[in-house]
Structure 1
Amino acid sequence: MPKVLVFTAYDQEYAIDIEAVREIRNWVQATPIPSSPSFMEGIINIRGTVIPLIDFCKKIKSLKDGIEKKAMIIIEKGEKTVSFSVHNVSDIIDYDEGVRKNLPDVSNSDISNFVDGILSIDNRVIFILNVSGLIEECFH
């Protein structure tokens, strides 16, 4: 049974494969990188490893403001390690493949580059992130 970490960005829930998650930490201020994209908060140093910190909301082009970031999710995929700042980490869930739905065809949107599908559990709608696609979107 697949297991995912669920987090929030504004009022929407997202899920990421728990096997890609290296750790979850409290949010810290990053050291800015000159001339970096607007979604790049900067770099953080975790036990001697310098890791880029991406503002998840800015990356997905959510333009709302005013909600405090409380957590960082550090993920690894292959040789890449990246941290995403998010509003809150809510839980870890196991789900039956039967509750996973395909992402509807959304015109004029690049969301399908990093969203694999949707979990529909009770009254919750949770976007399932494609870790490889999300990391690729951040570095090209």
Structure 2
Amino acid sequence: MANENVEIQLVVFRLGDEEYGVPITQVQEIIHFSKPTRVPKSPPFIEGVINLRGRVIPVIDLKKRFEVEAAQYTEEARIVVVEIHGHTVGLIVSEVSEVLRLPQACIEPPPAVIAGITANYLQGVGKLEDRLLILLDLNKILTAEEENQLVQSGEAV
């Protein structure tokens, strides 16, 4: 198998009890959680915007986006700053746990639904000893219309 030795590097974070991973190549930085400023008429999963060194970026609450449990922000909460279709976006997560390398051979195609999230948002499921990592496809977590709303919410301030 040609990609047997190929590894992907992931930023691993938690949303509630589940572990998720996103390619490190899409992550710009990880910052402590600070409450975003609400933007009127934005979709419910857009928490608002933050000022990141002079740049206003929209922030998505992934728990709300995936319609998992209600958002409770603790000391461990972080905003993972990522790029989605050329736009810088913050993703609120429960905590960031690690950066790890996952062999391509340990990734399986996603089931139709896992942890209440449809396969549309998923790249696959990574298997590590006694853990399963839900691998998100960041380019698919928003529809084109939602992406427009996201961009507009960032420009509305």
Q: Is the 8 A contact 2:12 2:22 kept in 1?
A: yes
Opposite residue 124 of structure 2, the aligned amino acid is: G
1:55 aligns with 2:82: no
Q: What's the % identity of the aligned pairs?
A: 27
1:128 aligns with 2:111: no
Opposite residue 54 of structure 1, the aligned amino acid is: I
> Normalization by structure 1: what TM-score?
0.90
Bigger Rg, which one: 2
Q: CA deviation at 1:105?
A: 2.6
Aligned pair in 2 of structure 1 residues 82, 65: CA closer, same or farther (>3 Å)? closer
Opposite residue 23 of structure 1, the aligned amino acid is: E
Q: Which runs of structure 1 show a deviation greater than 3 angstroms over 4 or more consecutive aligned residues?
A: 64-67, 135-138
Q: Is the 8 A contact 1:115 1:128 kept in 2?
A: yes
Aligned residues: 139
* 1:69-115 residue CA offsets vs partner (Å, 9 max, x unmatched): 610000014421100011100001101111101111339x7622211
Aligned pair in 2 of structure 1 residues 67, 45: CA closer, same or farther (>3 Å)? closer
Gaps of 5+ in 1: none
* 1:22-60 residue CA offsets vs partner (Å, 9 max, x unmatched): 000000011100111111110001011110011110001
Whole-Å separation in 1 of the counterparts to 2:49 and 2:119: 27
Give 1:64-103 correspondences, 5 Å limit: 64-66=70-72, 68=74, 70-103=77-110
CA RMSD, Structure 1 to Structure 2 (Å) = 2.0
Give 1:22-33 correspondences, 5 Å limit: 22-33=28-39
Q: Is the 8 A contact 1:10 1:67 kept in 2?
A: no
Gaps of 5+ in 2: 1-6, 149-157
Q: Is the 8 A contact 1:39 1:56 kept in 2?
A: yes
